[in-house]
Chains A and B, each alone.
Chain A
Amino acid sequence: MTRIKIPPFGSTLARHGLELKRTECKHLQVNVGLSCNQSCAHCHHEAGPDRQELMSRETMETILDFAAANSFDIIDITGGAPELNPNIRFLVENAATISPRVIFRSNLTVDLNGQADGLFKLCAEHKIVVVGSFPSTNQTQFDGLRGVGYFQKALERLRKLNALGYGVSPRLELDLVLNPAGAFFPPSPAGAEKRFKRELNQKWGIQFNTLFTFANTPMGRFRKWLQETNNYDHYMNKLVKGFNPCVVEGVMCRSLLSVGWDGAFYDCDFNLALKIPCAGLPRTVFDSKRPPEEGSPIAMGNHCYACVAGSGFT
Chain B
Amino acid sequence: MSDNYYDSNDLPKFQDIGKEAPILAEKFFDYYAAVFEEGDLTAREKALIALAVAHAVQCPYCIDAYTKSCLEQGSNLSEMTEAVHVACAIRGGASLVHGIQMRNIVSKISL
**A pairs with B:** yes
Query: What residues of chain A have their CB less than 8 Å away from a CB belonging to chain B?
Result: 1-2, 136-138, 140-141, 178, 180, 182, 184-187, 191-192, 195
Q: Which residues of A contact B68 (CB under 8 A)?
A: 184
Report which of A140, A178, A180, A195 forms a contact with B77, defined as CB distance below 8 A: A140
Contacts A2-B9, A180-B71, A184-B68 given; does A191 touch B77 at CB 8 Å: no
B residues 1-50 in Cβ contact with A at 8 Å: 8-9, 12, 42-44
Contacts A180-B71, A191-B42, A191-B43 given; does A140 touch B9 at CB 8 Å: no
B76 touching A140, Cβ below 8 Å: yes
**Extra 15 A-B pairs, beta carbons < 8 Å, given A1-B9, A182-B71, A195-B74:** A2-B9, A2-B12, A136-B76, A138-B77, A138-B79, A140-B77, A180-B72, A184-B72, A185-B72, A186-B74, A187-B73, A191-B42, A191-B44, A191-B73, A191-B74
Q: How far is the CA of A185 from the CA of B69 in the complex (A)?
A: 9
Q: How far is the CA of A180 from the CA of B69 in the complex (A)?
A: 13
Q: Closest CB of chain B to A180's CB: distance in Å?
A: 7
Report which of A2, A140, A180, A182 forms a contact with B78, defined as CB distance below 8 A: A140
Q: Closest CB of chain A to B44's CB: distance in Å?
A: 6
Give the A-B contact count at a CB cut-off of 8 A.
37
Report which of A1, A141, A185 forms a contact with B76, defined as CB distance below 8 A: A141
Q: How far is the CA of A182 from the CA of B44 in the complex (A)?
A: 18
Q: Which residues of B contact A2 (CB under 8 A)?
A: 9, 12
Range class of the B interface residue count: 10 to 19
4 closest A-B pairs by beta carbon, nearest first, are A187-B74, A138-B76, A192-B74, A184-B71
Q: Which residues of A contact B78 (CB under 8 A)?
A: 138, 140
Closest A residue, CB atoms, query B67 = A184
Q: Closest CB of chain B to A194's CB: distance in Å?
A: 9
Some 30 contacts from A to B, beta carbons below 8 A apart, are: A1-B8, A1-B9, A2-B9, A2-B12, A136-B76, A137-B76, A138-B76, A138-B79, A140-B78, A141-B77, A178-B74, A180-B72, A182-B71, A184-B68, A184-B71, A184-B72, A185-B72, A186-B72, A186-B74, A187-B44, A187-B72, A187-B73, A187-B74, A191-B42, A191-B43, A191-B44, A191-B74, A192-B74, A195-B44, A195-B74
Q: Which residues of B contact A180 (CB under 8 A)?
A: 71-72
Q: Which residues of A contact B72 (CB under 8 A)?
A: 180, 184-187
Closest A residue, CB atoms, query B78 = A138
Q: Closest CB of chain B to A270's CB: distance in Å?
A: 21
B residues 43-98 in Cβ contact with A at 8 Å: 43-44, 68, 71-74, 76-79
Q: Closest CB of chain B to A229's CB: distance in Å?
A: 15
Closest B residue, CB atoms, query A196 = B74
Q: How far is the CA of A191 from the CA of B74 in the complex (A)?
A: 9
Q: How far is the CA of A141 from the CA of B74 in the complex (A)?
A: 11
Q: How far is the CA of A182 from the CA of B68 in the complex (A)?
A: 10
Q: Closest CB of chain A to B75's CB: distance in Å?
A: 8
